[in-house]
Chains A and B, each alone.
Chain A
Amino acid sequence: MPEWLTQPDFLVERDPERCIQCEVCVRQCANEVHEFDAELREVFSDSAACVGCHRCASLCPTDAISIREVELEFRTNANWSPQVIRNIYRQAEQGGVLLTGMGNPEGLPIYWDRMLLNASQVTNPSIDPLREPMELFTQLGKKPARLEFAEDGALQTQIGPQLELKVPVMFSAMSYGSISYNASEALARAAHEVGTYANTGEGGLHEHIKPYADNMIVQVASGRFGVDVDYLNAAAAIEIKIGQGAKPGIGGHLPGEKVSADISATRMIPEGTDAISPAPHHDIYSIEDLRQLIYAIKEATRYTKPVGVKIAAVHHIAAIASGAVRAGADFVAIDGYRGGTGAAPTMIRNNVGIPIEFALAAVDARLREEGIRHDASLIVAGSFRCAADVVKAIALGADACYIGTAALVAMGCHLCQKCYTGKCNWGIATQDPYLTRRLNTNIATRRLTNLLQSWGHEIQEIMGGMGINAIESLRGNRDHLRGVNLSDRELQVLGIQMAGE
């Protein structure tokens, strides 16, 4: 049946004055949008297949290609938006669940943009981070409530294992499988170079990435792929993944065709079989089961590594996070509803979960109320776009942030949201060797390193402006945040004051 109701999302326009028929675009598009007609010696483009990834336009030597979103040709309707109508056409034609990739693109409020930061004026000198110390060093892990000293002044208290970050930003869980080996390696190398951590996701720890394992957090998720005692002991920390912001309550599925020999060896599953991560862990049906797994992992690693829990930001997040802390988690990672994914049902991604800003504010307040904030560090995830977002999150109460999408964008991702197709023209979310080689790990490592370092500098600049020279004085310091465009209730949940107050 023809897909006669489906209009293309994009219009590829080729400027005939500029096009030199060099065919670079033809070779770069895995979606086969561009085709060279040998007889006419001319390149033609089929807009219908275009996903808007800009690979062709980026490499076109004469800037002959422009890609526009197809303009609204439906009658204006605030309720039945073009996207909604198109989704129905697609489902009516194909049946099944709508799939998508990356984070929630809907126009829901971005609360980071409604919080503004403070700076010193007169009564308090601002600090120039280029000339004076400006400390971002962050330790993640359980800390005692107080220190004890012996009569002779010797420190008695032992502090458990901590992750040590030079920049309070880490790379969030992205599995080898959902992203290419090259992307995985670049993340690991950049984390190593900068002095932070990258998370393996549920993709196992590739043999070639083991040299960077001191800067890796390994994940134990519901499929348990790649998990054995060596995997746990190789890493700097272990994260039990309960949920993901883009698809709370949903498992994962790596189709068998992507399970190559290399992925099969890394995930410890047979080649070509579907890698299915169930929605729940089938050995965790309650908080006490979570505690068992946390302590099983702590036993397996002889209590030498922090063991944390990653949860999606959902309605009762404060109670859930508190439970995880009481279950023994050394850190809790909370992933907000704008968090990214390689593949998720569109309806879930766009409608399930809550904003990370509220989740973080509620969890930090709750853990303080219960007097257990020191028992675990808080890592937040779910679309941190810039250094200011990170600073705002830390001021709200986070210890560190995870970035996923921002890291991918640094490597070239253009947010076309087609990760699940395996045809990533940027060589990131694909296993096709023709495409993966487009991501030179040296370039990607350099770009990721640059990104973290530039964010680090920006965080330092902002802190210096506030007159704060250690990140612990920013952490949870909500006095440095003011709200705009927020209702009283929103301000109350965020625990911040209105601008002007």
Chain B
Amino acid sequence: MATNRLLPFKDYGGCSIVGVMDQSGRLFGGDAVIRAIANMHERSNGLGGGFAAYGIYPARADQYAMHLMFDTAAAKAETEALLHERCFVHHAEEIPTRHHPNITGEPLVHRYFINIEPDADRPFMDEDDLVVELHMHINAAVQDAFVFSAGKNMGCFKGVGYPEDLGAYFRLDEYEAYTWIAHGRFPTNTTGWWGGAHPFSILDWAIVHNGEISSYGINKRYLRNFGYERTLQTDTEVIAYLFDLLIRKHELPLEVACRAMAPPFWADIERMGEDEAAQARAIRAVYGGALLNGPFAVVVGSTGRMIGFSDRTKLRPQVCARGGERLYIASEEAAIRTICPDPDIVWHPDAGEPVVGELNVGVRAR
């Protein structure tokens, strides 16, 4: 329904988040992450849930897997015409689903494996830029169509309902990934819309988010300076775009990017060594528009990497654990223990401190 596109400016709410990464690169099924997020059932209210999985399309790892939802057949036709005009579509198919009694009002969900030829007239736009442009164009301009994700060898599955029901609906137990992130939503002021559920994604970045970004107004304007303006509808999307901007476009080291989003307090900077303080001051001077203020805890997925971090006063819960080769990040320890009853270590990261899981040296993101 077209009216559902009028999302609120911000996605208020409580929410549960969880992320599991196998750093050895071993693929594992979606049932684990579904059980973990189901454990935190009380943190969501049935108005949204979703998953992102990395490593699920190894056979098409060089193609962008565009997950799309359509409310109408017309939207599907229009989008497909656009895709065929702009891209090379290697393969298209309906995303397999399984009927679930609690999931209703489901849209059409399809995936397209695409590549885009570089545009000779715009030599500064690489394929990633062109995919981002297409992604934003569809979301902004094509009525009743919405891109869930468009990254390589990954995909987002999301909708209205409890996350465990959506996991069953999307048959995630049949996929295998090395990273799974999941979200259960507790929006306080919006009727659910499938596109509005988490994760939010751009290229291979996918974000699940518990919190509210009070700095959203400036973050969105800051991102507009760099061309991210077409579909900014929620504060979670802002985080995804910030990661894309800071890491892909500005090529900042990951720790610096996280520091830009959750910088140390000036009082702490004063106590730092000279070089570190100089760096922190520079970050705060230049990336003030990227500072995420307000309560949040996020899990961010990208190719070969999973990052958890929270706001600089840690106003939302986040707990981490490690068990064997797996890194776990979740809103509650109980969720982790549901799927990893005896972790090697459990810890509560400091406010603003990023927790980064990367594939072990020598392991390629398949």
Contact = CB atoms under 8 A, between A and B. Distances in A.
Contacts of B243: none
Interface in A149-201: 149, 153-155, 157, 159, 162
B215 A147 contact: no
A34 B214 CA distance: 58
B217 A479 contact: yes
B291 interface: yes
Contact of B9 (A125, A155, A472, A479): A479
Nearest to A132: B313
A307 interface: no
Given A120-B214, A480-B217, A139 B285 contact: yes
B313 A477 contact: no
Contact of A368 (B13, B225, B253): B225
Interface in A447-481: 466-470, 472-480
Nearest to B212: A124
Contact of A149 (B10, B252, B293, B313): B252
Interface in B1-56: 9-10, 12-14
Given A146-B250, A149-B252, A470-B291, A368 B221 contact: yes
Interface in B240-289: 250-253, 256, 263, 265-267, 275, 278-279, 281-289
Given A124-B295, A468-B214, A147 B282 contact: yes
A368 B315 contact: no
Given A147-B256, A159-B282, A467-B294, A135 B266 contact: yes
B218 interface: yes
Contacts of A475: 218, 288
Contacts of B216: 477, 479
A155 B282 contact: yes
B100 interface: no
A368 B229 CA distance: 12
Interface in A108-136: 120, 122-125, 127, 132-133, 135
B214 A368 contact: no
B258 to A, nearest CB: 14
Nearest to A141: B285
B97 interface: no
A144 interface: yes
Nearest to B218: A477
A305 interface: no
A123 B278 CA distance: 35
A143 B295 contact: no
Contacts of A80: none
B188 interface: yes
Interface residues of B, number: 47
A373 interface: yes
Interface string B315-327: 1000000000000
B218 A476 contact: yes
Interface in A373-422: 373-374, 395
A147 B283 contact: yes
Contact of B286 (A120, A132, A143, A368): A143
B270 to A, nearest CB: 10
Given A466-B214, A470-B293, A147 B250 contact: yes
A473 B224 CA distance: 16
Interface in B311-357: 312-313, 315
A76 B9 CA distance: 50
B293 A467 contact: yes
B223 to A, nearest CB: 11
A146 B10 CA distance: 27
A195 to B, nearest CB: 12
Contacts of A96: none
A147 B252 contact: yes
B250 to A, nearest CB: 4
A122 B293 CA distance: 16
A305 B318 CA distance: 44
B19 to A, nearest CB: 23
B214 A159 contact: no
Contacts of A144: 286
A125 B295 contact: yes
Contact of B215 (A120, A127, A153, A477): A477
Nearest to B296: A124
A413 to B, nearest CB: 34
A474 B219 CA distance: 10
Nearest to B215: A473
A468 B250 CA distance: 26
Contact of B217 (A132, A162, A478): A478
Contacts of B285: 139, 143, 159, 162
A122 B286 CA distance: 32
A434 interface: no
B282 A157 contact: yes
Nearest to A134: B265
B185 to A, nearest CB: 13
B286 A155 contact: no
A499 B275 CA distance: 46
Contacts of B283: 147
Nearest to B290: A472
Given A132-B313, A157-B282, A469 B266 contact: no
A313 to B, nearest CB: 21
A470 B280 CA distance: 14
Interface string B179-220: 000000000100000000000000000000001101111100
Which among B12, B278, B289, B312 has the greatest number of chain A C-beta atoms within 10 A? B289
Interface of A: 120, 122-125, 127, 132-133, 135, 137, 139, 143-149, 153-155, 157, 159, 162, 368, 371, 373-374, 395, 466-470, 472-480
25 contacts: A123-B13, A124-B212, A124-B214, A127-B313, A133-B265, A144-B286, A146-B286, A147-B256, A147-B287, A149-B256, A159-B281, A467-B214, A469-B293, A472-B284, A472-B288, A472-B289, A473-B288, A474-B218, A476-B217, A476-B289, A477-B215, A477-B216, A479-B10, A480-B214, A480-B217
3 closest A-B pairs by beta carbon, nearest first, are A479-B217, A472-B288, A473-B215
Given A147-B286, A467-B293, 6 more contacts: A143-B286, A149-B252, A159-B286, A467-B214, A473-B214, A475-B218
